[in-house]
Amino acid sequence: MAIARQVGAAFIALINYAVPVVAALIGLALGEALGVTAWAALAVILAGIFIARRGGAARSKSPPPAASRD
């Protein structure tokens, strides 16, 4: 629980996406061969984690425009 309070629930949820990456690394260490689709999937997973950790697309600091009352 202390770790969850320190890093936040969102980060803990992102860690779940790292499970296939760790499993692939263990498989490689044990002599398994990974196909092209497995490498592509690992790249997508790692890119998703990276994007989520840095906050996604650049966010504007200005508030959204107010809706007109026509």
State pLDDT tens for residues 44-67: 988 988 888 787 555 545 566 666
Nearest to residue 34, comparing CAs of 18, 16, 21?
Answer: 21
Contact 54, 22 (CB under 8 A): no
The whole-number pLDDT of residue 60 equals: 47
Q: What percent of the chain has pLDDT over 90?
A: 29
- DSSP assignment string, 47-61: HHHHHHHHTSSPPPS
pTM: 0.56
- Rounded CA-CA distance 70/63 in Å is 21
The whole-number pLDDT of residue 69 equals: 63
The pLDDT tens digits of the residues spanning 13-47 come to 778 888 888 999 999 999 999 999 999 999 998 89
The whole-number pLDDT of residue 61 equals: 54
Q: Answer whether residue 2 shows pLDDT above 80.
A: no
27's CB contacts (< 8 A; 6+ apart) are 34
